[in-house]
Amino acid sequence: MKIDPGQKPVTLPAAVENRPAQPRTDKRANTDQTDVTLSQRAAQIKQLETRLAAIPVIDRARVDSIKEAIASGQYAINTENIADGLIDSVKEMLRVAK
């Protein structure tokens, strides 16, 4: 996993003072209302969002199997791959910084 140093931090807006809710008056209450239909692409995106929301963020079975391997001493850590990944990340950060 690489950290992208090129992205700028997001600044959040200042805190907004909480005010008591005030009843709204709907100025368009007397106008004719029309139905809104989504384009086919928007409907597809909505369907994909629904499917993505159903996918668990964490694969519990994989986490449990790794925990068992660590507990039993069978989990092998490839330090060479970790070192190579760290070196690649530093090289990438140095290229971006130029």
pTM of the model: 0.34
Residue 36 has pLDDT above 70, yes or no: yes
* pLDDT confidence bin for 54, thresholds 50/70/90: confident
pLDDT for 69: 94
Sign (positive or negative) of CA dihedral 80, 2, 91, 93: negative
Residue 51 has pLDDT above 60, yes or no: yes
pLDDT for 56: 81
Residue listed under structure tokens 């600044």: 11
Residue listed under structure tokens 């990340």: 89
Residue 67 has pLDDT above 90, yes or no: yes
Residue 92 has pLDDT above 90, yes or no: yes
Q: What is the largest CA-CA distance in the chain?
A: 72
Q: Which of 33, 5, 23 is nearest to 89 (CA)?
A: 5
